[in-house]
Amino acid sequence: MLPFILGIESSCDDTSAAVVEGTIVRSNVTANQEIHSDFGGVVPELASRAHQQNIIPVIEAAIQRANIRKNQLSAVAYTQGPGLLGSLLVGASFAKSLALGLQIPLIESDHMQAHILAHFLQRPGHPHTPPSFPFLCLTVSGGHTQIVLVRDYFDMEILGQTIDDAAGETFDKAAKILGLPYPGGPAIDKLASEGDPARFSFAKPTIPGLDYSFSGLKTSILYFIRDELKKDPGFIDKNKADLCASIQATIVEILMGKLRAAMTSPQSSVLSPQSSIHNHHGSTAPLHQSLVTGHRLPDVAIAGGVSANSGFRKALSEIGKKEGWNIFIPPFEYTTDNAAMIAVTGYFKFLKGEFSDQSGTPYARSRW
């Protein structure tokens, strides 16, 4: 019999609880906090209060929808960090009390690892094959942009990451400039589908290596729109769809550029045993070599809130076909923050017997 693990996620503005049975999602309930939409970003104080209000009903609903009783739970997993401390404390305190009350193990989950491990979640009635180790994952969220070499469930190495702002933050800031509500990513995504992605161009970073930078792009969008508004106060309204499409295309291009570079970096050679062999065009050719020799193709995944973006998903599928990568894109409900990913991370730790005591403290910044 597989254990039932309750996951609790409260790192930012979503209060979420989920029950998994092994890797199978039995329930996944999220209360979004509408309150932040008027402020153009998450207000930490309001987020903590909303978590306090939401946490009991959300956990009750998760247990009820899983069709189990509390005493059937084998462990409680919670997000320890990174995230907003006040928000994390709500989930952490509740998880600790519940584990203590039920006399079951307590498990700490790292939010960024959990985004990646969401690929191992199984939805009843939707059989799927998760990526095989080792694989590369581009995790893109509101606070992080990381290219991660995933050797095993908890053996992950960051090959590159943003040196300033995250891609999700750039979507959110751009949306704010355009007068769209928070979170800006989904709003830009929707409007972008009606616009011309080649209409406007913005500054792209030129930093070396596998790291990202988005602050220059943010400034470029801000200054461009400010200047255009001086000439025509109706500029945004007249060009909203094209602006969204062009901003989205620029962010996706930046994301893809470094992902492609990461796939040809020496660290990624573990993904495809033949990747260093050159084909007759003179380029490295994991696809050709893998097919010819029977080696598996390299597995490449995306994760995090921005992996919900339709332009990003499409670009990855196209590049995957072209370059010969096996592409893994999470179902929508496991891209943005959710507790199912925390619960499944808890399950993999449960298998290792990696439990925590009551003394664990939340952390704001990534521990990697």
- The footprint of Zn ion (CB under 5 A) covers 141, 337
Q: Considering only residues 235-274, where is the footprint of ligand KG4 by CB under 6 A?
A: none
Q: Which of 40, 91, 183, 195 binds ligand KG4 (CB under 6 A)?
A: 183
Q: Does 330 bind ligand KG4 (CB under 6 A)?
A: no
Residue 184 CB, shortest distance to ligand KG4, in Å, is 5
Q: Least CB distance from residue 12 to ligand KG4, whole Å? A: 5
Shortest separation between residue 181's beta carbon and ligand KG4, angstroms: 10
| Of residues 31-70, those binding ligand KG4 (CB under 6 A) | none
Single out the residue of 246, 268, 284, 309 in contact with ligand KG4 (rule: CB under 6 A): 309
Compute the distance between CA of residue 368 and CA of residue 354 in angstroms, rounded to an integer: 18
Is 217 a binding residue for ligand KG4 by CB under 6 A? The answer is no
Q: Considering CB distances under 5 to 8 angstroms, the limit depending on partner class, which of Zn ion, ligand KG4, none binds residue 185?
A: ligand KG4
Secondary structure (3-state) at 100: helix
223-232: long-range pairs with CB below 8 Å, 24+: 224/200, 225/177, 225/178
Q: Is 87 in the site for ligand KG4 (CB under 6 A)?
A: no
Q: Decide which of ligand KG4, Zn ion, none touches 323; Cβ closer than 5 to 8 Å per partner kind.
A: none
81 binds ligand KG4 (CB under 6 A): no
Q: Which residues contact 25 (CB under 8 A, 6 or more apart)?
A: 18, 19, 121, 122, 123, 124, 340, 343
Smallest distance, Å, CB 303 to ligand KG4?
8
Task: Assess 168 for contact with ligand KG4 (CB under 6 A).
Answer: yes
DSSP annotation string for 40-55? TS--HHHHHHHHHHHH
From 23-31, 140-148, 239-247, 255-263, give the range in contact with ligand KG4 by CB under 6 A. 140-148
Helix, strand, coil shares of the chain, percent, nearest 5, are 45, 20, 35
Q: Compute the distance between CA of residue 267 and CA of residue 76 in angstroms, rounded to an integer.
A: 35
Given a contact cutoff of 8 angstroms between Cβ atoms, the answer to whether 173 and 219 are in contact is: no
- Do 76 and 350 contact (CB within 8 A), yes or no? no
Nearer to Zn ion, 137 or 249 (CB): 137
- Which of the ranges 17-25, 149-157, 292-300, 302-310 carries the binding residues for ligand KG4, by CB under 6 A? 302-310
Residue 27: which H helix or E strand, with range?
strand 24-32
Q: Give the Cα separation of 218 and 204 in Å (integer).
A: 10
Per CB under 6 A, 143 contacts ligand KG4:
yes
Contacts 24+ apart (CB under 8 A), 124-129: 124/24, 124/25, 124/26, 126/331
Determine which residue in the list 79, 336, 345, 356 makes contact with ligand KG4, applying CB under 6 A.
Answer: 336
CB of 101 to ligand KG4, least distance (A): 29
Q: Which is nearer to ligand KG4, 183 or 286 (CB)?
A: 183
CB of 340 to Zn ion, least distance (A): 12
Q: Is 171 in the site for ligand KG4 (CB under 6 A)?
A: yes
The dihedral formed by the CA atoms of 147, 308, 310 and 26, expressed in degrees to the nearest 10: 120
Distance CA 346, CA 355 (A): 9
Residue 274 contacts which entry, ligand KG4, Zn ion, none (Cβ below 5-8 A, type-dependent): none
CB proximity list for 80: less than 8 A, separation 6 or greater: 88, 92, 108, 109, 110, 360, 361, 362, 363
Task: Report the nearest approach of ligand KG4 to the CB of residue 17 (Å).
Answer: 16
Which amino acid is located at 230 in the chain? K
Residue 173 or 240 having the CB closest to Zn ion: 173
Residues that bind ligand KG4 (CB under 6 A): 12, 141-143, 168, 171-172, 183-186, 189, 304-306, 308-309, 336-337
